[in-house]
Each structure stands twice: as structure tokens, then as C-alpha cells.
Amino acid sequence: MLRVETFNLGPLQTNAYLLRGEDDLKAVVIDPGMNPAALLRRVEHLHIEAVLLTHAHFDHIGGVEALRKLKGCPVYVHDLEAGWLEDAKLNGSAKWAELGGPITASPAEFALAEGQTLSLIGNEFNVLHTPGHSPGSVSFLCGKDLFAGDVLFREGVGRTDLYGGRQGDLVDSIRLKLYKLPDDTVVYPGHGPRTKIGYEKINNPFVPAS
């Protein structure tokens, strides 16, 4: 069983997710964004097994160092974006400095790759490489719960005009990987409300199912 808490963080209202299994004191954090005070207060008495990054844009990594300092937890990111944590130009924070200044973090401890399975908090997380929004974008599938980052939104998709983005890759990621999942798979996006795969296949105007 997976329990999911959502925190809307920073000026771009990025969704950070706090996940727990049967053990109330162990958790995983996905995409700790900017201005993470609310998230940090919530995890104060929890053991954080891992920080999983769907990708390394600044609004998704803004709280990484604060969380690391507080909890001493390892960070996972796809190898294609390993250098983005340390580079404000690559992660975009240098371009939009007015939103909070350059943001950097120490290198991740672990690399993510397509087909990888992570055993965390008594659950298995399958890693899907879903590029397009960024080259190292990944989605995490745990049972019927999908944490899709900025790939697929409710009736929307991630932008592809940032460094390393490719529209064709994004469409392929959604059609060939995400739309192959069961229709009742719940999608937890990087921004906005949750949705379901079946709903998006019918209603998403940017990537029709066929």
C-alpha cells in the first residue's frame, strides 16, 4: 500500500510528493521543489530512504540540499541530467533568476535508468525513461500509481522548448510508454491535479491515444 501526500512548493507550484508504505516512520520524497519549508516540517520525524527526481529542472530540485542537510538521504537522478544539479544554466535557474536566484545541489548518489526497479519503503518503484520535456525525464510506477513529473498533465503535457527538450520524444514517451499502462493508473504530475491514464487517452488534446 502506498500513501501519498502532496506539497505545492515554490513560485511555480511544483508538486512534491511524500510517499509512505506500511511503516509510518519511513518515507520517500519525489521532487522536493523550491521553498520547501512545509515539506521539511512534515519530514522532521521521518526516516527518508531516498529522494527521487523525475528530472533536474530548478523548480523540482530547489529543496534537495535542504532535505539532504536535514535527513542525510541519497538522491537519485537519470544519468543524462547528472550534471544539471550543479549547473544553474542547465537546470534553468540562471535563466529565471528572478524566481529565486541560481539553484545548485551536490551530485546525486545514484543513477536512474530505464527498466530499473527500486525497492523502497516496502514497495517497488519501476523506472520508465520518458524523455521529451527534458532528456533525462523519468516516471516512477508503483503499482497503479505513476509519478510522471512534467511529462503528462491533466489535459496537458510538459513544454519542450527548454534545453534538451524534444516534442517528438515527448509524444513517443506518452504514447509508447504511459498510454500502454492500465487505464486506471493514477497519474501524479509535476504540476496541477492528478489524473488517470484512461482519462488522458480520451481527453488530452495534445497527445490523442491514436
Is residue 178 situated within a structural domain? yes
In a domain, 69, yes or no: yes
pLDDT tier for residue 210 given thresholds of 50, 70 and 90: confident
User: Which pLDDT tens digit goes with each residue over 124-159?
Assistant: 999 999 999 999 999 999 999 999 999 999 999 999
pLDDT at residue 99, as a whole number: 87
Average pLDDT over residues 41-57: 98
Question: What is the structure's pLDDT at 88?
Answer: 96
Within a domain: 208: no
Is the confidence at residue 198, as pLDDT, over 90? yes
Number of domains in the chain: 1
Residue 101 pLDDT: 87
What domain range is 88 assigned to? 3-203
For 69-105, the pLDDT digits (tens) are 999 999 999 999 999 999 999 999 999 888 888 999 9
Q: Does 16 fall in a domain?
A: yes
Percent of the chain at pLDDT above 70? 100
Q: What is the mean pLDDT of residues 195-202?
A: 98
Mean pLDDT calculated for residue range 179-202: 98
What is the full DSSP assignment across the chain?
Answer: --EEEEEEETTTTEEEEEEE-S-TTEEEEE---SS-HHHHHHTTTSEEEEEE-S---HHHHTTHHHHHHHH---EEEEGGGGGGGG-HHHHSTTTTGGGTS----PPPSEEE-TT-EEEETTEEEEEEE--SSSTT-EEEEETTEEEEETSEETTEE----STT--HHHHHHHHHHTGGGS-TTPEEEESSS--EEHHHHHHH-SSS---
> Is residue 115 a part of any domain in this protein?
yes
> Could you tell me the CATH number of the domain that includes residue 108?
3.60.15.10
